[in-house]
Amino acid sequence: MQKRFIWIILFLWIHVLLIGQDNNKLCIHNLTDNFYVYTTYKDINGTMFPSNSMYLVTDAGVVLFDTPWDTTQFQPLLDSIWFRHQANVVLAIATHYHDDRTAGLEFFKQRGVKTFSSKLTYDLCEKFNEKQAAYYFENDTVFEVGNYKFETYYAGEGHTKDNIVIWFGSHKILYGGCLIKSTESKNLGNIADANLQEWKPTIKKVLRKYPRPKYVIPGHFGWESNKGLQHTLKLLESASQ
Ligand SMILES: [Zn+2]
């Protein structure tokens, strides 16, 4: 009897292990300290296109910066976070209204997560029928969650009207979302809703405000280099020629 019980426990444990494991649909990388970049993918014309988001593990729970793009990965993300950190997600902030940032807002809201975006993003989600946060902030806002502090910054239009960045001053991490292109990107990507004139001055404002980031996390592709801002300027220059 006892033996069978041990087998059941073992089976459950392996099951949890498998669910908690990152699969090729959800990749989680520790950036530094308690900061993680997670990536989900979407099939764009036969190619799996990656989308980066972040999460931060604080002693008052986990904060998500943007939600998975792949709508099958909302629960796996919560499971993976629980498995790795034995912590619940308490807060989620979306950095612009496109679905690679907002797709999971409704899901997380239903799981008791406090969901936030800027007022501009909140309104654009409504207008374009994207999932919407429950709460919004009207100005750049400093959030304090447990032992961490970070700020949102809106520098102007670029990839979209409403794109904001998030700055983690203690670790010099600039989470750029889709305003910032990866140094691996050969073009500006989806510019259907972009403001190509304003994008450059917007990036320059971000550079002035955060001149020496240690890490720069773009919305898509690799973040090995911290020169994403400069690379975005270069791409904008060649696009305007
Ligand atoms: Zn994007």
> Exactly one of 34, 52, 70, 96 is catalytic; which is it?
96
- pTM, full prediction: 0.90
> Exactly one of 34, 52, 159, 162 is catalytic; which is it?
159
* Block residue for tokens 């959800």: 26
pLDDT at residue 62, as a whole number: 98
- Residue 159 designated active-site: yes
Asked if residue 67 belongs to a domain, the reply is yes
The yes-or-no verdict on residue 8 having pLDDT over 70 is: no
pLDDT at residue 92, as a whole number: 98
pLDDT tens for each residue of 63-92: 999 999 999 999 999 999 999 999 999 999
- Residue 100 designated active-site: yes
What do you get for the CA distance between the two ends of the chain, in Å?
76
Asked if residue 9 belongs to a domain, the reply is no
Q: What is the mean pLDDT of residues 26-38?
A: 98
Range of the domain at 157: 26-239
- Domain of 64, CATH number, reads 3.60.15.10
> Exactly one of 99, 100, 162, 220 is catalytic; which is it?
100
Number of domains in the chain: 1
Query: What is the DSSP-derived secondary structure letter of residue 73?
Result: G
> Exactly one of 34, 66, 70, 98 is catalytic; which is it?
98
Asked if residue 17 belongs to a domain, the reply is no
- The continuous run of DSSP H or E covering 145 comes out as strand 142-145
Query: How far apart are the CA of 178 and the centre of ligand 1, in A?
Result: 5
Query: How far apart are the CA of 91 and the centre of ligand 1, in A?
Result: 21
Q: How far is CA 73 from the centre of its chain?
A: 14
Query: How far apart are the CA of 192 and the centre of ligand 1, in A?
Result: 11
- Residue 52 designated active-site: no
Which of 11, 38, 5 lies closest to 24, judged by CA?
38
pLDDT at residue 241, as a whole number: 74
- The continuous run of DSSP H or E covering 235 comes out as helix 228-239
The model's confidence at residue 139, banded by pLDDT at 50, 70 and 90, is very high
Separation between Cα atoms, residue 115 and residue 233, nearest integer Å: 31
Asked if residue 180 belongs to a domain, the reply is yes
Query: How far apart are the CA of 220 and the centre of ligand 1, in A?
Result: 7
Asked if residue 123 belongs to a domain, the reply is yes
Separation between Cα atoms, residue 47 and residue 29, nearest integer Å: 22
Mean pLDDT of the chain: 94
pLDDT at residue 19, as a whole number: 53
Task: Indicate the Cα dihedral angle 168, 214, 157, 163, nearest 10°.
Answer: -50
Asked if residue 12 belongs to a domain, the reply is no
pLDDT tens for each residue of 188-211: 999 999 999 999 999 999 999 999
Ranking 3-12, 138-147, 167-176 by mean pLDDT, the lowest is 3-12
Asked if residue 3 belongs to a domain, the reply is no
Query: How far apart are the CA of 113 and the centre of ligand 1, in A?
Result: 22
pLDDT tens for each residue of 37-59: 999 999 988 999 999 999 999 99
Asked if residue 232 belongs to a domain, the reply is yes
